[in-house]
Structure 1
Amino acid sequence: MEKAGSAVTAVAALEDDLRRGMYDYIRRARRPVGRDEAAEAVGISRKLAAFHLDKLVDAGLLCARYAPLDGIRKVGRTPKVYEPARTDIRISIPPRRHDLLAEILLDAVLTEGDQENAAQAAKRAAREHGHRLGAAERERTRPGRLGAERALTRAREVLAEYGFEPDREAPDCVRLRNCPFHPLTARSPELVCGLNHAFLSGFLTGFEARSVEAVLEPRPGECCASLRSA
């Protein structure tokens, strides 16, 4: 998942016309591009092009390596070449995670069982996605036994990265202030809120946060769910 801070840094790097011009040129080239060629594309010196290209690398928009251009090895130092990074850069304010919802629905379509309807398959897929996230986070952090206080704190930290904008509303409650699936929720609130609840429940199960549960508490302009001490 692309973090919001990284995405903002990447977009800010493209504010400069020269950087944006070289980035567009390299994307269209569909092959490694050297500094001389990039410089010529926007009409600047090789030295200045090198500065801007490396800034694009630092922002995560380009990848750089040393390789012969056109596959021809020449005498002297191997040139530095640039290619587009294989990452998507997206910014949404407030945060949205339509890609996550799409993954859940795709998994539901591909794995729907004979005894399930579409909605049941989607909720199962959402729960499985959440469970994988929670299990991976538990494996990464190895938090040991989780009481309600610690579980709510850790869940808040993780779900913030997914755009839920969690807020410690009370000692026993983390309120999710933002719906990452909006505005799709407005088209089918029962389905999307059900998927959201299943995802959060799966996350808590995978994280082994038995002292916390996800509850549906819809409020206008906010996520439909809260996390509460069980």
Structure 2
Amino acid sequence: MLQALSYPSLRVVLEQLEASKRFHISARCSTISRFDKTIPLRIDRLQFADNTISLNRIIFQFGSISVLETEEQARRRIQESLTPGDILLDYKNDERIIKVEQIKYLKYSDDYQSQRQRYTRRLPKNVTPSDALKTLSNFILEQRKDIKVAHLNIWNHSQNVLRLPQNIQFQVRGLRAAKNDVKLLKQIVDPSCFPLVFIRVEAWKEEYSEDSFLQSSNELIVYTTNNSTEYWFATLLKIKNLSVQMREIFFLKAKS
């Protein structure tokens, strides 16, 4: 009979285990789940987007769709609602009786590249996608004191709230942000990992040229448009990063 792993050995194994596999094991073993959050968590790629959390290869996406019932479904629903004395009038092609139902769902994919759908589950009617995202974020990340993330991506576009556990901080190597204000993300980055290897921004702001957090990274990667060559020449002189990459830049002709 094989001897069980000792507690110290099990901690080492769990710490080196790929994050999604670790969550899978912890969710199915109450013994491991009791101390899992005391062990450092290593994530290669953690991404937050609109109602979405992506962790390495897996994607959790919450959303809602509006479903329009068919005329036959509407007819059946009204028939079932009749009580003694009711008279069913002609309602054919009357769009007012067609019911629109909003269905909220969780979609889980286990392959980030192909986004192959593993399953979709319907959320309870009283739970919004934002509520569900917060609950999932807490379940995965809350009460963990040591979360090491190689690449942290904040890709929110249509939603302006980042759903995270209270007082959380990540030990990050690189940070990517879409239109989000990078300065606001400093609070979720553990100061012990400064300077970051790189920070990438896709919506440049004038105040970034004076921001100490942004300029503390070894490399600054900028995606931007809509400014003249004169503006960028002046801005680059202010930037103190060791390396600056400018990608997909479209310069505007200076006004004469």
Same fold by TM-score greater than 0.5: no
Greater RCO, CA 8 A, separation 6+: 1
Bigger radius of gyration, 1 or 2? 2
Decide which structure has greater strand share. 2
Give the TM-score normalised by the residue count of structure 1: 0.25
Decide which structure has greater helix share. 1
